[in-house]
Structures are given as structure tokens and as C-alpha cells.
């Protein structure tokens, strides 16, 4: 920065060399002596130093289904060869309109990324005309104000930039910490990392703070790493492993409206639709029927499941593949995200009268002075409201959890610390009830959140990686057998219409049911999956005739063209069946951040 003193003058003119700044937007801020922003102005600096890209087709024109070769050469503004990474697309001008004014790599990196709001036709502002330069300045004045929050933080985040939320990752690393029984770092503790596919083994020792880090690991899809820590005695007793799990940034879809093609008078879009119709007509003339998209679905199977209905018989199923896609989460987090209709609410939503509920004092006798008293010994039959309690639900049905065939409800013992309120508002203490007990009375006697907190212990205590699959039985055709086996004590007190539940069968790898426990000193780490590159479809035409017509709108896409030390590259592909002019769009950058873009054409006759 520079200090400017006004000395009582209202105007002070200073000149700053443009050579101090790279091509792109430059922001000038006028601050007070205590570094508070007073005014701001942004300008666009253009040194005309973008990369020069040359695309040379091997022939002046090509035939349909012909082999096309493109020689590529990239130089900087001084004519020196450039090593860089570029992408290239070849599209049919008759089906896809190439708009030089639309958004592209140059406009995004150099202009619109520093402005607010949507910029229409950003390529227009890169035209070398006086009107375009004047309009660019107006654009910066309207959509470039301001680059800081004047109320809350001022320039604090600029003068003292915060630590980046996501650190640079020069390589794939698995890091974490080994803890002792007191949850403190366990120093000089041996730790081993094992990967079965692809095969890899790493052995290390934690530092004085208990931290560890493994590098040089294989990069592949669906990686799984098994980690084991051992103390100085060579045992995994009283040691735990914490892995630095990566939490990706949340991206929200751009709220932008797109005009449907059928209400657009754009002849290019209409021609693209007609091309599809012509292609289908030609296929039909040759006796070839073009089938509509066919979606093939199959029942998901959870291996070793105790599903009473049989394999794959459930309303919703999450299998091992679904579990592998889930990062490190609790079973509760996973169900909240992946199980449709999972929620927390009151159940039943209305008071339900139990049928044949026994064990309540119902008779009254007349005591001294004609006062009515309850008889503690006269037990009979009387209705009692089934009070709503907070429960986990699947849509409007109370969820009942079954883990490896073990009914978690059978382990629930409500806390009878609260009195039971009958329909006529009389207080009946738990001690007055038949000692044999009744499930409805027990639930009513507990806190309204008692059952939910009990179920939560299991949902929070099981990690998703310990689960093979989740099956939801809500529809009567799936939950009938579960009701018959697990809901007997509820059905004895409720009518069949009011006792309709949703059962969730959870199958774990250990098979220990509700008593799942992770062994000490071990950790299964599933990093976010790497996705291998998918090659763009490129047909290879031979002398033999292919009966299928080729009217592709994009005949080639090359996402990663790397130029050599001489700045040269090479691309080859085949033309399609539609004659006409095709546009070649190539853009990318070198290793120093300089960018370039070029549009060329080829003719297919």
C-alpha cells in the first residue's frame, strides 16, 4: 500500500503503473489512518498476454465418417512454447450454436468471479472496441461494489486473512491420532495401515502427541483402510484411533431459470430436435426400432439379514453398496439422510383407548361420613388412554428397531417415576397396578421422551460402517410378520387398527445385534471415493458399413490435452454422418496461471 496525505486539499492525483498488476480485476481501497475503508473502486487491467493457441486440421475438408487429425500448438505472448493443460470440444454448428459472447474459462477467471450477480454475455466486454471498454467500466461500477463487509468485519479478513478451511493436498494422506484410556494422545505407539484392494501395508509410530500420518498410498475407487494400534506391550487394550475425516464443502445448486426449448424460437435448438426425429425415421426405414430408455431394477439383498419376509422383501432397502458411500456417521445420521419418511414426532397422534386393559382399581366404596374412596384391592377392567410420547417414526408410524433379529423394544424398561393419568383424570400410582405389569401403563408412566432417548442410544452407538444393510417394513404386506412376532405385548392392549408400526431391520457385520461394540484399537477408514476418468465415446469406423446413423451433436471431447516442452499436442477422432461446419473450442492454462482460448472450424462434406 501507499500513504497519501491530502494536507487540506480535496483532490489528490496519483499515477500507478499497470505493470504492477496481472491481467484481470484490480481493486483499489481508500482507508483512514486506522485502516478503516472509506471508498473503493475496481478497474480491469488487460495486458493482452493471454496464451496463443493454434489448431491446424490435417486437411481442408473431410468426408463423413472420416478420420480427423488436429495439430495443436500453444505459445505465450512472447512467442515462447508453453507446457499446459487444455480441453477441446468439437460440436455441430447445425445443432449447437457456438456463442463467442457466452461464459467461458477466460470470462470466469478474469472477470465474473469477482463480480456480484449474473453477467449476461460476458464475452462482449473482452471485445477490443471503445464502446465495450466503456460498458465494462459501467459494469464494474454497478456489480463490483463492494469487496468487504463495512458493518461487521471491515478489512479484518483482508489485512489478517483467516486460515483456509481446506488445506492444500499435494498427495493423498491418512492421518489421525491414537489416544489412551484418558482420551489423551498416546506417544510412541505402533500403528499399522492395511489395504486389501489395492494391496498396501504401512507401519508407523505416533509422535509425542499421539499423531500419525501415512503417505504414498494408492489412489483408487472405493478405498478401505484398516488401522490397528498397539501399545508398548504389543496389545490393543486401552487405545483408540481417531482419523482426520475429510468434510467436503456443501455446494448448492444455482437458482437459475432455463427456458424450455419448445418455447424458444432458436432455430438451432429446433434443428437439433428435428435431427433426432430424422434419425429415428431412418432407423425405422431400415427395419431397426429405436427403443425408449429402459431402466433395469433389481431387488437389493442384504446378506445375512434376519428379515422375516425373506431376502429383498421390504419397502426400503439400503445394502452394502449404499453403506460404502456413507462417510463416517452414526446409524442415526445415516437414517436421517437416507431413509424416506424418517422423523421424530408424537405417537400416537391421538389418544387411543386400549382394549381389555386389566389391573386398574375401578370400584368405589362409601367410607365414614359418606365420602367416596378408592379400593386398592378391587382390580377390574377399565379403559385407559394410551398417552402420546415422542418417538422415532417412519412417516406416521412408530418405528420399532430390530438389530440382527433382536427386538430392541424387548430391552426397553420404562422409568415408572411418573404417575399415570387415566381418562377421568384420577391419579393411579404404579404401585396400585397389577404386579404382572402392562406395557401401556409402563409407557404412560415414563417421561414423554423416555422411549425416544432409549432408542437413540442404539442409533447413536452404532456407526454406519459397522452396518451391512437397513431394511424398512412399513406396508402391511411387509410388517405383518414382525407385528405377530415382536408386538405381542402391545397388541394385547391395543386394537389392531391402532397398532400399526414400521419395523427397521438393521444387519451388522458382527451379527451381535443390539450389543454391537467396536474392538479397541481398530478403525475402518473409508475415504471419499476417487472417481476414475471416463473416456468420451468415440466410434472407430472401418470399411464395413455400420447400419446405425451417426448424428451426434458433439463428435469429440478431450478433457485433458497436455502440451509438451515445444508447446505441441495432437488429437484424432472420426467425423459423423451429418455434413456441415463444426466448431472446435479449445481452452486451458499453463503452469503459471496464464489462460487462453481459441475457436476454430472444420468442414465435413
Task: Give per-residue pLDDT as tens, 386-408.
Answer: 677 888 999 988 899 999 988 88
Query: Which alpha helices (DSSP H) does 409-502 contain, by range?
Result: 439-445, 450-461, 476-486, 488-491
The mean pLDDT value for 340-345 works out to 92
Would you place residue 428 in the very low, low, confident or very high pLDDT band (cuts 50, 70, 90)? very low
Alpha-carbon distances of 562 from 85, 86, 87, 88, 533, rounded to whole Å? 5, 6, 9, 11, 15
> 140 is written with which cell numbers?
464494474
User: Strand locations in 320-407, DSSP E?
Assistant: 342-347, 358-361, 364-366, 372-374, 379-381, 389-394, 397-403, 406-407
DSSP 353: P
CB 312 within 8 A of CB 578: no
Alpha-carbon distances of 205 from 77, 147, 177, 441, rounded to whole Å? 52, 47, 11, 57
Beta carbons within 8 Å of 165's beta carbon, 6+ residues apart: 249
What is the per-residue pLDDT across 144-167, written as a single tens digit (0 to 9) for each?
876 666 555 556 666 677 788 788
What is the reported pLDDT for 212? 95
Would you place residue 370 in the very low, low, confident or very high pLDDT band (cuts 50, 70, 90)? very low
Would you place residue 536 in the very low, low, confident or very high pLDDT band (cuts 50, 70, 90)? confident
Q: Which run of H or of E encompasses 469?
A: strand 467-473
> 592 is written with which cell numbers?
503459471
* Whether pLDDT at 97 is above 60: yes
* Whether pLDDT at 308 is above 90: yes
What is the residue whose three cell numbers read 504492477? Answer: 20
Q: Are strands 568-574 and 342-347 parallel, antiparallel or unpaired?
A: unpaired
* Whether pLDDT at 572 is above 50: yes
Q: Which among 575, 436, 404 has a CA at the least distance from the CA of 504?
A: 404
CB 420 within 8 A of CB 446: no
DSSP 463: B
CB 390 within 8 A of CB 346: yes
Would you place residue 439 in the very low, low, confident or very high pLDDT band (cuts 50, 70, 90)? low
* Whether pLDDT at 205 is above 70: yes
Q: Check residues 95 and 378 and name the one with the higher pLDDT.
A: 95
The mean pLDDT value for 189-216 works out to 91
Q: Check residues 361 and 580 and name the one with the higher pLDDT.
A: 580
What is the reported pLDDT for 374? 37
| CA–centroid distance for 85 within its chain | 28
DSSP 323: H
What is the reported pLDDT for 198? 85
* Whether pLDDT at 260 is above 60: no
The mean pLDDT value for 65-82 works out to 94
Would you place residue 94 in the very low, low, confident or very high pLDDT band (cuts 50, 70, 90)? confident
What is the residue whose three cell numbers read 425373506? Answer: 310
Instruction: Tell me how many degrees the CA angle 500-318-405 measures, rounded to the nearest 5.
Output: 55
What is the reported pLDDT for 222? 75
**Cα pseudo-dihedral 416, 417, 422, 425, rounded to 10:** 180
Whether the CA torsion 395, 398, 402, 408 is positive or negative: it is positive
| CA–centroid distance for 99 within its chain | 33
How many Å apart are CA 515 and CA 45, to the nearest integer? Answer: 66
Burial (CB count within 10 angstroms: exposed 0-12, middle 13-18, buried 19+), residue 257: exposed
Q: Per mean pLDDT, which of 81-95, 164-178, 297-311, 505-519 is the most reliable?
A: 81-95
CB 61 within 8 A of CB 604: yes
Would you place residue 123 in the very low, low, confident or very high pLDDT band (cuts 50, 70, 90)? very high
Q: Which among 76, 75, 79, 57 has a CA at the least distance from the CA of 67?
A: 57
Which residues share a beta bridge with 191? 204, 229
What is the reported pLDDT for 449? 83
Give percent of the chain with pLDDT exceeding 90. Answer: 35
Q: Which among 435, 147, 97 has a CA at the least distance from the CA of 261?
A: 97
Alpha-carbon distances of 196 from 65, 226, 238, 467, rounded to whole Å? 45, 9, 26, 19
How many Å apart are CA 486 and CA 498, to the nearest integer? Answer: 16
> 312 is written with which cell numbers?
429383498
Q: Are strands 211-214 and 580-590 parallel, antiparallel or unpaired?
A: unpaired
Would you place residue 1 in the very low, low, confident or very high pLDDT band (cuts 50, 70, 90)? low
> Distance between the two ends of the chain, CA-based, in angstroms?
60
Helix 331-338, helix 450-461: angle, nearest 10: 100
Would you place residue 575 in the very low, low, confident or very high pLDDT band (cuts 50, 70, 90)? very high
Would you place residue 361 in the very low, low, confident or very high pLDDT band (cuts 50, 70, 90)? very low
> 468 is written with which cell numbers?
451391512
CB 390 within 8 A of CB 344: yes
Beta carbons within 8 Å of 591's beta carbon, 6+ residues apart: 83, 84
Q: Check residues 56 and 435 and name the one with the higher pLDDT.
A: 56
Q: Which residues of 495-519 are buried (b: 16+ CB within 10 A; e: fewer)?
A: eeebbbbbbbbbbbbeeebbebebe
CB 497 within 8 A of CB 519: no
Beta carbons within 8 Å of 551's beta carbon, 6+ residues apart: 95, 275, 276, 278, 279, 576, 577, 578
The mean pLDDT value for 323-331 works out to 77
Indicate the average pLDDT of the chain.
Answer: 79
The mean pLDDT value for 130-139 works out to 94
How many Å apart are CA 471 and CA 312, to the nearest integer? Answer: 8
Maximal CA-CA distance, the chain:
119
The mean pLDDT value for 528-539 works out to 75
| CA–centroid distance for 333 within its chain | 14
Q: Which among 52, 62, 83, 173 has a CA at the least distance from the CA of 568?
A: 83
* Whether pLDDT at 203 is above 50: yes
Q: Which among 131, 79, 71, 124 has a CA at the least distance from the CA of 99?
A: 124
DSSP 513: G
Amino acid at each position: 500500500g501507499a500513504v497519501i496525505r491530502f494536507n487540506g486539499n480535496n483532490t489528490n492525483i496519483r499515477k500507478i503503473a499497470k505493470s504492477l498488476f496481472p491481467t484481470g480485476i484490480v481493486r483499489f481501497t481508500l482507508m483512514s489512518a486506522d485502516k478503516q475503508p472509506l471508498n473503493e473502486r475496481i478497474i480491469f487491467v488487460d495486458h493482452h498476454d493471454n496464451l496463443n493457441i493454434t489448431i491446424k486440421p490435417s486437411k481442408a475438408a473431410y468426408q463423413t465418417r472420416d478420420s480427423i487429425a488436429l495439430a495443436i500448438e500453444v505459445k505465450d505472448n512472447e512467442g515462447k512454447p508453453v507446457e499446459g493443460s487444455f480441453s477441446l470440444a468439437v460440436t455441430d454448428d447445425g445443432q449447437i450454436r457456438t456463442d463467442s459472447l457466452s461464459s467461458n474459462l477466460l470470462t470466469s477467471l478474469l472477470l465474473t468471479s469477482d463480480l456480484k450477480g449474473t453477467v449476461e454475455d460476458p464475452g462482449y466486454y473482452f471485445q477490443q472496441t471503445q464502446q465495450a471498454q466503456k460498458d465494462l467500466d459501467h459494469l464494474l461500477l454497478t456489480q463490483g461494489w463492494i469487496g468487504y463487509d463495512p458493518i461487521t468485519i471491515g478489512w479484518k479478513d483482508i489485512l489478517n486473512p483467516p486460515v483456509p478451511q481446506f488445506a492444500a493436498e499435494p498427495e493423498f494422506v491418512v492421518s489421525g491420532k491414537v489416544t489412551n484410556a484418558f482420551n489423551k494422545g498416546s506417544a510412541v505407539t505402533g500403528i499399522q495401515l492395511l489395504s486389501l484392494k489395492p494391496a498396501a501395508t504401512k507401519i508407523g509410530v505416533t509422535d509425542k502427541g499421539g499423531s500419525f500420518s501415512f503417505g504414498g498410498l494408492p489412489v483408487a475407487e472405493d478405498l478401505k483402510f484398516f488401522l490397528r494400534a498397539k501399545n508398548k506391550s504389543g496389545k490393543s487394550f486401552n487405545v483408540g484411533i481417531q482419523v482426520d475425516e475429510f468434510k467436503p464443502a456443501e455446494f448448492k445448486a444455482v437458482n437459475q431459470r432455463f427456458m424450455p426449448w419448445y418455447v424458444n424460437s432458436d432455430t438451432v435448438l429446433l434443428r437439433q430436435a428435428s435431427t433426432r426425429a430424422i434419425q429415428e425415421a431412418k432407423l425405422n426405414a431400415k427395419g431397426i426400432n429405436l427403443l425408449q430408455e429402459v431402466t433395469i431394477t433389481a431387488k437389493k439383498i442384504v446378506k445375512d439379514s434376519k428379515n422375516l419376509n425373506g431376502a429383498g422383501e421390504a419397502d426400503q432397502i439400503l445394502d452394502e453398496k449404499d453403506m460404502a458411500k456413507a462417510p463416517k456417521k452414526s446409524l442415526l445420521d445415516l437414517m436421517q439422510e437416507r431413509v424416506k419418511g424418517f422423523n421424530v414426532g408424537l405417537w400416537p397422534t391421538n389418544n387411543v383407548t386400549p382394549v381389555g386393559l386389566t389391573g386398574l382399581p375401578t370400584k368405589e366404596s362409601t367410607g365414614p361420613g359418606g365420602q367416596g374412596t378408592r379400593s386398592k384391592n378391587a382390580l377390574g377392567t377399565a379403559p385407559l388412554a394410551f398417552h402420546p410420547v415422542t418417538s422415532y417414526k417412519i412417516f406416521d408410524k412408530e418405528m420399532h428397531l430390530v438389530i440382527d433379529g433382536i427386538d430392541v423394544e424387548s430391552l426397553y424398561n420404562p422409568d415408572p417415576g411418573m404417575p399415570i393419568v387415566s381418562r377421568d383424570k384420577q391419579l393411579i400410582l404404579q404401585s396400585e397396578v397389577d404386579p404382572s405389569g402392562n406395557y401401556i401403563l409402563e409407557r404412560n408412566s415414563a417421561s414423554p421422551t423416555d422411549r425416544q432417548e432409549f432408542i437413540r442410544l442404539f442409533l447413536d452407538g452404532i456407526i454406519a460402517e459397522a452396518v451391512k444393510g437397513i431394511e424398512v417394513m412399513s406396508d402391511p404386506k411387509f410388517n405383518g410378520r414382525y407385528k405377530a412376532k415382536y408386538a405381542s405385548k402391545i397388541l394385547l392392549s391395543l386394537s389392531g387398527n391402532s397398532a400399526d408400526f414400521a419395523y427397521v431391520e438393521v444387519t451388522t457385520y458382527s451379527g451381535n445385534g443390539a450389543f454391537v461394540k467396536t474392538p479397541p484399537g481398530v478403525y475402518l477408514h473409508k475415504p471419499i471415493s476417487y472417481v476414475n476418468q471416463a473416456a468420451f465415446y468415440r466410434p472407430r469406423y472401418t470399411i464395413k458399413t455400420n447400419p446405425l446413423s451417426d448424428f451426434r451433436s458433439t463428435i469429440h471431447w478431450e478433457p485433458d490435452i497436455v502440451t509438451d516442452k515445444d508447446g505441441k499436442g495432437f488429437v484424432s477422432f472420426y467425423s459423423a454422418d451429418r455434413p456441415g461446419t463444426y466448431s472446435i473450442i479449445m481452452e486451458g492454462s499453463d503452469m503459471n496461471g496464464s489462460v487462453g482460448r481459441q475457436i476454430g472450424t472444420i468442414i465435413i462434406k
